[in-house]
Amino acid sequence: MTPADLHTLTGAYSVHALDEDEQREFESHLAVCPACTQEVGEFRETAARLASSVGATPSAELRRRVLDGISTVRQLPPELPAPEPVVGIGRRRTRRVTVFVAAACLAVIGALGGVAIDQYQDARRAERAADAQRERSAGVEAVITAPDAVQASAPVTGGGTAKVIVSRALDRTVLLTTGLPSLSNARVYQGWYDDNGHMRSIGVIRPGMALLASAIERASGVGLTVEPAGGSAQPTGDPIVLLEFPAGRA
């Protein structure tokens, strides 16, 4: 490695990104290069300040991305001390070091900021999912415990049982299934309102889970079909079960 190459390793050395051979060679260079020694100290001081100001522990993926970025950004070698003082050199070198330190700060802050945004978005998605699940659970419980709730059940073609619970007062139904055969990833179970022979989708249902549906309107019952993954706008096959809504309570 040439002396010019060694001058470019201050940033990588400061974040422990050199292999053992490069580290030994660079440390030998530091012993005779005050400019690199000063620059390493400045980088480490900046890194320490950044570390103390950020509460989150960077992940292994973040460290990899930062180190990859360092390896692709070309650093200019530090200016070696001239034999005779030259007016303006100190000022230019101070400016250059300030630019490099600022760039390093921005790179690390940008990377950490990206992680913070990702974590915030993940937390918000999880919070919305939990809120939606609580709302569904409350809706199912309301239908099951409604004073006017009535129910019907029937065996499913191919195995299992389906049950529907209806509350006209709440304008909601709950479709429950037990013992349905497992499907491949390319197929799903889908529930439908039976509007006097016209099937209206009420959503995909996972075996063993409750499907809460609203807007009963003219429906006289519910059906269940097997559809391609993601569900269908209209049934692609015959229902594997049809359940008529029982007469409401007097």
Q: Given pLDDT bands bounded at 50, 70 and 90, which one contains residue 89? A: very low
Task: Return the pLDDT at 176.
Answer: 92
How large is the angle between the packed helices 34-53 and 20-30, nearest 10 degrees?
Answer: 120
Band of the pLDDT at 87, cuts 50, 70, 90?
A: very low
Q: Tell me the DSSP string of 195-227.
A: ETTEEEEEEEE-TTSEEEEE--TT--EEEEEEE
> Which of 148, 143, 165, 154 is closest to 243 using CA atoms?
154
Q: How far apart are CA 182 and CA 163, in angstroms?
A: 18
- Residue 244 bridge partners (DSSP): 221
The chain-wide mean pLDDT, for the chain, equals: 77
Residue extents of the structural domains in the chain: 3-121, 150-244
pLDDT at 32: 80
Phi, psi torsion values for 9, nearest 5 degrees: -95, 5
Q: Quick check: helix, strand or coil at residue 241?
A: strand
Question: What span, in angstroms and rounded, lies between the C-alpha atoms of 143 and 167?
Answer: 6
Amino acid identity, residue 69? G
For range 100-128, the mean pLDDT:
61
Query: Tens of pLDDT along 34-73?
Result: 888 887 777 777 666 555 554 455 566 656 665 565 555 5
In this predicted model, what pLDDT tens digit does every residue of 194-247 receive, in sequence order? 998 899 999 999 888 889 999 999 999 999 999 999 999 999 999 999 999 988
The answer to whether 43 touches 14, Cβ cutoff 8 Å, is yes
Contact (CB, 8 A) for 193 and 212: no
Mind listing the pLDDT tens digit for each residue in 159-204? Answer: 999 999 999 999 999 999 999 999 999 999 999 999 988 999 999 9
The CATH number of the structural domain formed by 150-244 is 2.60.40
Please give the single-letter amino acid code of residue 41: G
Strands 172-178 and 150-155 turn out to be: unpaired
